[in-house]
Amino acid sequence: MKYLKPPVPILEQIEMLKKRGLIFNDETKAAHYLSNISYYRLRAYTYPFQDNKDKNHPFIEEVSFEKIIDLYVFDRHLRLLIFDGLEKIEIVLRTQIIYNFALTYGGFWHLKPELYKDAMRFANQLDSLQKEVDRSNETFIDHYKSKYTQPSEPPCWMSLEVSSMGLLSKIFQNLRKSEEKKKVTKHFGLTNPEILENWMHCFCNLRNICAHHGRIWNRRLVPIKLPYNTLYPFLDNDKLYTNKLYATLCCIEYVLQIISPNNTFKIRLKELIKKCPMKQEKEMGFPANWQNDKLWL
């Protein structure tokens, strides 16, 4: 089927949404919003309130354009909060992986195929890492390349510092079971490296959504594994939707309590959720009385 839908002027967008049942309290202000936030970006926030099986997408709940904007703004604040927390976690992950393996295997351990489970994945990941190093404009990379000829690739504390979080996650997942991998896992309050592998993958996925200004509210995420054996108190209630945001937020908070005990993530999250429009926190997997769980007290 060929896509034939034409572009729609902003005032016609408003008329179309009105016909579908969306309420407008100030059409002039709405036009201003639509000239700065695309109709299709806002469509992700109106979608759950519409009958999307009907080709006309009528609204099945009484909702106003202003409430949709409130939800959009709430989602933006939530995205910024999550990105801030994940930045701290990413930096510590890099540090711990680089440090623990370098102490045992030297500065070029990341180039040693015997440390990895899958030789083909190792080769592909090394090729990706080399490309990321070549794209980097960091001064320390330029210095290494201008001064040293062997090895041709910089040491792990340079190379893995400029790798993407996604690639770092794949490299860690491909590493064989070892004492070094256990030490990295233990630093984050976990006993099973496979749980940390999953968390890295989920954190990376969520980080990329945040970095590209994607919707967090009411989004289905990569399912996160909830551990049953942690080094510190985790959750009282583990009957959660693991593909919804709340489960991943619990894992973020758990890690932040360990690596940054004075962080304010939980305080800011509680305050933000109080402002969630239309009681939509349930759509993100937040259970009733979640603030009373030991993890959030």
The pLDDT, as a whole number, for residue 237 is: 84
The pLDDT, as a whole number, for residue 37 is: 96
The pLDDT, as a whole number, for residue 3 is: 87
Please report the sign of the dihedral spanned by the C-alpha atoms of residue 169, residue 173, residue 175, residue 178. Answer: positive
Given a contact cutoff of 8 angstroms between Cβ atoms, the answer to whether 234 and 251 are in contact is: no
Given a contact cutoff of 8 angstroms between Cβ atoms, the answer to whether 232 and 258 are in contact is: yes
The pLDDT, as a whole number, for residue 182 is: 98
Q: Which tokens in the block code for residue 200? A: 């890295």
> Which residue type, as a one-letter code, is found at position 80?
L
The pLDDT, as a whole number, for residue 193 is: 97
pLDDT in tens, 140-171: 999 999 999 889 899 999 999 999 999 999 99
Given a contact cutoff of 8 angstroms between Cβ atoms, the answer to whether 84 and 210 are in contact is: no
Domain boundaries, the chain: 10-63, 73-115+175-292
Positions in the chain short of pLDDT 70? none
Quote the CA–CA distance of 62 and 40 in Å, as a whole number.
20
The pLDDT, as a whole number, for residue 238 is: 81
Given a contact cutoff of 8 angstroms between Cβ atoms, the answer to whether 270 and 35 are in contact is: no
The pLDDT, as a whole number, for residue 98 is: 98
Q: How far apart are the first and last CA of the chain?
A: 54
Q: Which of 6, 80, 12, 78 is nearest to 45 (CA)?
A: 78
Quote the CA–CA distance of 114 and 276 in Å, as a whole number.
50
pTM strictly above 0.85? yes
Q: Within 10 Å of residue 114's Cβ, how many Cβ atoms?
A: 9
The pLDDT, as a whole number, for residue 122 is: 97
pLDDT in tens, 244-291: 999 999 999 999 999 999 999 999 999 999 999 999 999 999 999 999
Q: Within 10 Å of residue 51's Cβ, how many Cβ atoms?
A: 13
